[in-house]
Amino acid sequence: MKKRLFAILFALGMLGVLSLLLIDLAAVTALAPEQMRAEAPPITLSLKLVTLVQPTVLLALSVLIGVRLAHPVGLAAPFADALAAGNGNAGAALKRQLVPGIVCGLVGGISIVVVFLLFKPLLLPETVARVIQFGTLMPWPTRLLYGGITEELLLRGGFMTLLVWLAWSLIQRRRRDPSRATFIGAILFSSLLFGIGHLPIVFFLFPRVEPVLIVYVILANSIFGLIAGYLYWKKGLESAMLAHMFAHVVLLAVGDRL
Write out pLDDT tens, residues 62-103.
999 999 999 999 999 999 999 999 988 999 999 999 999 999
State the total domains in the chain: 1
Write out pLDDT tens, residues 96-152.
999 999 999 999 999 999 999 999 999 989 889 888 888 888 999 999 999 999 999
Q: Quick one: average pLDDT of 162-167? A: 96
Residue 108: predicted pLDDT: 96
Q: Quick one: average pLDDT of 206-213? A: 87
Q: Is 90 exceeded by the pLDDT of residue 180?
A: yes
Which of 183-187, 205-209, 213-217, 251-255 has the lowest average pLDDT?
205-209
Write out pLDDT tens, residues 23-44.
999 898 888 887 777 777 888 8
Q: Please enumerate in sequence order all residues whose Cβ is within 8 A of that of 173, keeping only pairs 6 or more positions apart, or say none.
A: none
Q: What is the pLDDT confidence band of residue 256, given thresholds at 50, 70 and 90?
A: low
Q: By residue range, what is the domain housing residue 169? A: 2-257
State pTM to two decimals.
0.93
Cα–Cα distances (Å) from 43 to 32, 56, 121, 204, in that order, read 14, 20, 35, 16
Q: State the virtual CA torsion across 142, 10, 227, 232 in degrees, nearest 10.
A: 160
